[in-house]
Structure 1
Amino acid sequence: MFSTGYIILIVVSTVIGFGAQAYVNSQIKKYSNVPSSWGLTGVQAGQNMLAYNGVQGVPFHRGGESEDHFDPRNNSITLDPHAYSQPSITAIATACHEVGHACQFAQGYGPMKFRSALVPVVNFASNAWMIALLAGIFMNLAGLIDLAIILYAFAVLFQLVTLPVEFNASHRAMQYLEAAGLPQGERAGAFSVLRACALTYVAAALVSALQLLWLIGQRR
């Protein structure tokens, strides 16, 4: 089952993944060295965006390197050291993107609620699909292989649902930056950072979809 086609899939997936990550790293690094005319750190810009949207009770935490996320479990935002304390375009774009997620949560944004509902299923499926696949191959049981495909399909669905959630958070960030009067040139830099970050989610979804199509093709 692990044929030349699968090896090609692995190579293509690796190229897509490394290419997307290299691009996002280059954009983040580029605009980390460009200060914002606002003179605000990521946290300060994020707090202003929360106030602009009337969202309260969302604390900011200083995380580790590249640790940027919104946690709906405790309604908090974690930013990496640069985004937390530096007044750069990357810091502002990153913080406002995470605030976009906080606004989604506060407003009951549908795709975010759907993604959150998928988390328990996906956590199980992500660990179980390969076990079911290997067991199906070695025991020559088509039913287990079909189960593996179904489980993996949930992981792919999660990746696909993640796309509109991430795109919308970036859209909210850009809308705020424009409304708050960030100069056009600086907004262009912020958009470059957010577009690059979005590419990593697109790449992950594409790789997962290719993997699923390969699995389905092998079953046939």
Structure 2
Amino acid sequence: MAGNQDVLTRERLDAALAVLPDWRYRLGGFVTVYKAPTAAAALELIAAVGRLAEKQNHHPDLDWRYNRVFIRYTSHDAGGEVTERDAAAAAAASDAAARAGATAQPGLFRTVELGIDTVDPAEIAEVWRVALGYKKGPGGDLVDPYGRGPGVWFRETAKPNSNRFHVDVHWSKAEAGPVLEKTAATGALMNRDHAPDWVVVTDAQGNRLCLCTEEGHQPEPL
């Protein structure tokens, strides 16, 4: 079982990504999307990644969408953080993708979370956990044990927003710029006080969402 000493620090994480151009960091994992020439080629890539996973005894979350394969590596036995095993697995998957003629499109991999304002997270968390079939994650967040549904986190505040729910959409910093520009062009109110970590977006009816990047979620230096 991995220990905390195996978790990549911010410096080691940046060094790993420097030699993994196909990959991005996202909420405790390395993520990417590969576009294969055909759906059949995508299935061949999935099979290749599966063989690697068995050989490495390190299995990714993987999703197939026609000719695109979405992949996420994280180390569950290290508290859902990134370790050297994830970096090695990502590198091997990149090699397999190259052999399959697939091209990386990491900007397509976005992650969604639901945020809830509350004065007392403990009072409501169990309702949401049971109803969704989720489990408790780091820091009291709720996560889908199968990695399919959006995560849920509770923003403890003495003054909850009148609209207690908001959506966090996580993009990689490398791809966030065009998304912010297009969102601003819709006429939404853009609060950039916390950029580039996140930008609070409010629509014409007062509904909020946050466009987030990995800057607000990378491990701190030890």
- What's the TM-score, normalizing by structure 2? 0.27
Structure scoring higher RCO (CA < 8 A, sep ≥ 6) equals: 1
- Structure number with the higher strand fraction is 2
- Of structures 1 and 2, the larger Rg is shown by 1
- What's the TM-score, normalizing by structure 1? 0.27
- Structure number with the higher helix fraction is 1
